[in-house]
Amino acid sequence: MDDDDLARIEIRLQVLETLVAFQFAAQHMQSADPAAAIARLRALLLERQLPMPGLDPALADAAQAELAAAVDRILALQDQLPRRLVD
């Protein structure tokens, strides 16, 4: 895999994270307390260890750390979105 392939993969991941952040924002704006709903979702995602059968324990730990980092990136993106999607 060359640098161009890696760059395309990274761009795709960033686009997906942005779309997920937008979807989370839209969903949580329906809640009476969006900040609390987001905090509950983050806790749920990060407290659960995702099953990763067949992965070496060290790789599973790395995958869990990447999940936490991805969730944090998504929530940071969500904070940058407008509070109302339609004005």
Residue 80 pLDDT exceeds 70: yes
Q: Check: CB of residue 76 under 8 Å from CB of residue 20.
A: no
pTM: 0.62
Q: Check: CB of residue 43 under 8 Å from CB of residue 35.
A: no
> What residue type is assigned to position 30 of the chain?
Q
Give me the pLDDT at residue 63, please.
81
The total of other beta-carbon atoms located within 10 Å of residue 26's CB is 13
Backbone angles phi and psi of 54, in degrees to 5: 85, -10
Mean pLDDT, range 46-69, rounded to an integer: 78
Cite the DSSP H helix spans in the chain: 3-28, 34-47, 57-80
pLDDT in tens, 6-54: 888 888 888 888 888 778 777 777 778 777 877 787 788 777 766 777 8
Q: How far is CA 18 from CA 28, 33, 54, 62, 83, in A?
A: 15, 22, 30, 22, 15
